[in-house]
Chain A
Amino acid sequence: MSNGKSPAFYNNPHVRALVYQTLLLAGLGWFMFSIVSNTLANMEARGIRTGFDFLGNVAGFDILMSLVPYDASKTYFDTFIVGLLNTVLVSVIGIVFSTLLGFVMGVANFSSNWLIRKLSVLYVEVFRNIPVLLQIFFWYFAVLAALPNARNSISLGEAIFLNIRGLYLPKPVAEPGAGLVYGAIVVALVGIVVLKVWAKRKQDRDGSQLPVLWMSLGMLVGLPLLAFMVAGAPFTLDFPTLRGFNFQGGITVIPELMALSVALSIYTGAFIAEAVRAGVQAVPHGQTEAARSLGLRDGQIMKLIVVPQAMRVIVPLLNSEYQSLVKNSTLATAIGYPDLFTVFVGTSLNQTGQAIEIVAMTLTVYFTVNMLISLGMNLLNRKVALVERK
């Protein structure tokens, strides 16, 4: 091209690559199309109902736990949403607690205390090497099933009850004036962000550090508390009471959710602890020595020097751990927690018999959720990655 003599277009590698890729894509598209149309034609010939019309039909069955209002008069699409939200709930709980547990245990591996160090190793080795389904069964059928029945509940001040049917908590019911408290929470959250930015600028300017964590906590607790008192306690508590077979009222945390969350958090936490250990070990020892010679304390070295550098090793590993956690949450079906798999691929599929549509929808959900996790973690990774000279 430089001397004006360009090769024939069919010899241009870019054009060739484009042609081959288009051909491959078209072939794949044709392949998929023929599978789908063939299946549809066959199903029609067999008199099997197809399509997504069933989503609008009344489901007619009840679900143990729902984050949105649901009863037997709702549609199959609602069962999909209920299952999806329950899956998201247990995944979020699992991700939060496994991360906390994993970081604590991973860092504990480097403790100078022999007992803490060994405890961390013991935790990782025990829970990493037992199948997660077995752990779920253990928590559900061995630990939680050993709790007393409703009449002999373990009670904390006659307000919180724990029995085999679940954990019962008092539920705050908003009265007029509650808006002030909600407002105070928002103000506190905004205040924390402002404080953080301001503290960073201040440190950049004169090197002095503010106790940001304590000030944030103070704001988050203090402001709503102040609003609560000013508005004259605009919340009443709905206490759970034993009526008939079960406790009524309040908030119920079902044992299926507890067992699944605990099992997934502890199991995934063990892998995260290993990821954290790997990340910390990847930071050259010279960094620690240099920090020490600057006079930083051990806690500070970990927090300011080691962990930020370890993050670029840890984050990509975390990504796959979180994804496994979401996928493992389908084991809920073994203990009857109403997640997407139990509700939608279980009951709804069996009521309608439309396996292909329901399985395809569910596959799409898990795929999408995991792609979103991947996206989030990749963004985080970009933030923690080593900034190199261009």
Chain B
Amino acid sequence: MLKKTAMLAIGLTAGVSLSAQAGTLEDVQKRGVVSCGVSTGLAGFSQKDEKGQWSGMDVDVCRAVAAAVFGDDTKVQYKPLTAKERFTALQSGEVDILSRNTTWTQSRDTSLGLNFVGVNYYDGQGFMVSKKLGVKSALELDGATVCIQAGTTTELNLADYFRANGLKYTAITFDTSDQTRAAFESGRCDVLTSDQSQLYALRIGLQKPDEAIVLPEVISKEPLGPAVRQGDDVWFNIAKWSLAAMIEAESLGITSKNAADLVASGTPDQKRFLGVEGDFGKNMGISNDWAKNITLKVGNYGESFERNVGQGSPLKIARGLNAQWNQGGILYSWPIR
């Protein structure tokens, strides 16, 4: 009651329009596009090229969902969101799925009215320093000034790490990655901290990328994944299994190139995946060739990784944790059968 009175007392100014619950799949089908919340521009994850085409790991999840629902990966409407806007945009129904390098944490999962559907990139927070400092480990950073990009879990991790190790530091928080990078380049701070994937992306944007190094320490677990609104299980299943299908395709050896051939010549596992046998799509309310469409249009997880952040991209990030479970990583999708 007190809560309500307090809310009433201040008057509600940020009118969040909450559209009707459930039925996201029907809404999406009626609209003809999946509305997907992405970042305002992060190399390798969601970025727009000069022709206005979006690409990246997070964008591929949006495309996979569109391919599963419509059989067409281009039926996506991208909504660039800042870190501050993202949860409100999903809660208010402005986007159907939030795929925006968002860390899956307990508090976000339980208190924001959303559900994470899986992990599409296992990340961890790291540090980038100028080579000139001669620092080899984060433990040598006592008294350093640290630049952070605002609106992420990084501020919390940073404070925890320095406190746990009894180190002093000064933190400067910037709003966008460009400002953070500019401040680091000008020497305003000694260290730039962010998720490691972002550090690599920021590093190649420096005027002299060779003069900066990423320290070996990873100070946090950052499982990044897409999220949907809580309380719509049909849509939750579609999003969850679209991501799982990308990972499963890789472990089954199905790629965008061989998928069409495997429909006829594949193993029973592969045939089930491609929708030749079983009613796996129908159970979710979409067509049975959903997983085939995802693989044909978007590719499997490995293809998406290499194209966007791996060897086929300027970032050249190694698979590391993001390799399949039997390849030294921790990617393990639930079987489609």
Q: Chain A contact residues (Cβ within 8 angstroms of B): what range?
A: 35 or more
Report the nearest B residue to A355, measured CB to CB: B88
Cβ-based interface call for A39 (8 A): yes
Which of B47-55, B142-150, B251-259, B292-300 lines the interface with chain A?
A: B142-150
A23 to chain B, nearest CB (A): 20
Contacts of B6 in A (CB 8 A): 51-52
Contacts of A335 in B (CB 8 A): 174, 179
Cβ-based interface call for B282 (8 A): no
Do B18 and A360 touch across chains, with their CB atoms under 8 A apart? no
Report the nearest B residue to A46, measured CB to CB: B113
Which of A28-36, A216-224, A232-240, A260-268 lines the interface with chain B?
A: A28-36
Report the nearest A residue to B18, measured CB to CB: A42
Cβ-based interface call for B16 (8 A): yes
Contacts of B158 in A (CB 8 A): 61-62
Cβ-based interface call for B3 (8 A): yes
Q: Which of B73-101 contact A (CB under 8 A)?
A: 83-84, 87-88, 91
Contacts of A72 in B (CB 8 A): 159-160, 163
A64 to chain B, nearest CB (A): 5
Q: Which of B18-48 contact A (CB under 8 A)?
A: 18, 21
Interface size of B in residues (CB-CB distance below 8 Å): 58
With A141-B182, A347-B150, A356-B14: A149-B7 Cβ-Cβ less than 8 Å: no
Inter-chain contact total with CB atoms closer than 8 Å: 162
Given B171, B173, B187, which contacts A149 in the complex, CB threshold below 8 Å?
B187
Do A359 and B13 touch across chains, with their CB atoms under 8 A apart? yes
B158 to chain A, nearest CB (A): 8
A255 to chain B, nearest CB (A): 7
Cβ-based interface call for A178 (8 A): no
Cβ-based interface call for B169 (8 A): yes
Q: Is the interface of A mostly helix, strand, loop or mixed?
A: helix
Q: Is the interface of B mostly helix, strand, loop or mixed?
A: mixed
Q: Which of A32-59 contact B (CB under 8 A)?
A: 32-33, 35-37, 39-40, 42-43, 45-53
With A248-B143, A336-B173, A346-B175: A164-B186 Cβ-Cβ less than 8 Å: yes
Contacts of A350 in B (CB 8 A): 83-84, 150-152
Cβ-based interface call for B260 (8 A): no
Given A51, A63, A246, A351, which contacts B156 in the complex, CB threshold below 8 Å?
A351
Do B7 and A36 touch across chains, with their CB atoms under 8 A apart? yes
Given B108, B110, B188, which contacts A145 in the complex, CB threshold below 8 Å?
B188
Given A49, A165, A334, which contacts B145 in the complex, CB threshold below 8 Å?
A165
Given B91, B112, B143, B171, which contacts A246 in the complex, CB threshold below 8 Å?
B143
